[in-house]
Amino acid sequence: MSFQNGDEVARHSHRRAQLIYATTGVMEVTSGNKYWLVPPQRAVWIPPATDHQMRARGAVQLRTVYISPDAIPDDFSPQPVLISVSPLLRELVLRSVNSATNHDTCELKTRILSLIVDELGALMRESEHALPVGLPLPQGQDKRLSKVCRALLDDPGCHRGLNEWASLVGASKRTLARRFQSEFGMTFLTWRQQVRVAVASSRLDQGEPVTLIAGDLGYETPAAFSAMFRRVTGLTPSGYTASPAALGAGEVGG
């Protein structure tokens, strides 16, 4: 399935579980109040009957696999999670999606799906503590807060402070600060840092240099960016890319 920049899939759910994987481009995936940026090195596991929506950042080629509830092991996450995509999982997903073209037998399709489930289980365990958790998004009805959050997701390097945002959306600084605390349990600055970490992680996954990422996210030096990244994640950018999950994903698409 092909998407152009800004194309959206409205909030929906499926009876079966879904593995969302983009072979090219970056897809935004939102479920509940969590948000992920998903490059080709990552995928998102969506459990059965779980609402989610998607938005393309640039041109995206999407591949999805659906898994019946009775085929899901008990130890699989009951919540959506971001996972690293190994070369094996990538090839299995592509074979599964193209099974009709390949004239695969029902038996072969079943075996491929079983292998996908096995590999997913292993990758979920590996990714549990190595990948960013979903970024929290506003769930209330305050359109002013939603407008600020959407603008920062689209331009995470923006330097506007809370005073400027409050003026732009028609709220007081104090009101907007309270909204961030009540919705996310964190300050505006902390939430903005988490946005930048989410964007940076996605770009690090794709092999982009730290110097370029730091500049695009508004940091004067790579050292300043690296200090922020480590403060939020506990890892330096180089430590993140050297983690087992990132190393496995780095081979995808080569």
pLDDT 10s digits, 104-145: 788 888 999 999 999 999 998 886 655 556 888 887 788 999
What CA–CA distance (Å, rounded) separates 20 from 42? 9
Q: Is 182 part of any domain? A: yes
**What integer is the mean pLDDT of 217-244?**
87
Whether 169 is in a domain gets the answer: yes
Does 248 score more than 60 pLDDT?
Answer: no
Q: Is residue 253 part of a domain?
A: no
Strand partners, 34: 31, 136
- On average, the pLDDT of the chain sits at 88
- The answer to whether position 218 is within a domain reads yes
Instruction: Identify whether 32 is part of a domain.
Output: yes
- Helix (H), strand (E) at residue 36: strand 34-38
Q: Is residue 252 part of a domain?
A: no
Count of the separate structural domains present in the chain = 2
Cα(8)–Cα(2) distance, rounded to whole angstroms?
Answer: 11
Q: Indicate the pLDDT class of residue 251, thresholds 50, 70 and 90.
A: very low
The whole model's pTM is what? 0.75
Bridge partners of residue 198, in order along the sequence: none
Residue 89 resides in a domain: yes
* Dihedral sign for Cα atoms in the order 238, 240, 241, 242: positive
Query: Please, which residues have CB within 8 angstroms of residue 156's CB and are 6 or more apart in sequence?
Result: 192, 195, 196, 199, 217, 218
Contact 29, 44 (CB under 8 A): yes
Instruction: Give the Cα separation of 83 and 103 in Å (integer).
Output: 29
Query: Which residues are bridge partners to 46 per DSSP?
Result: 18
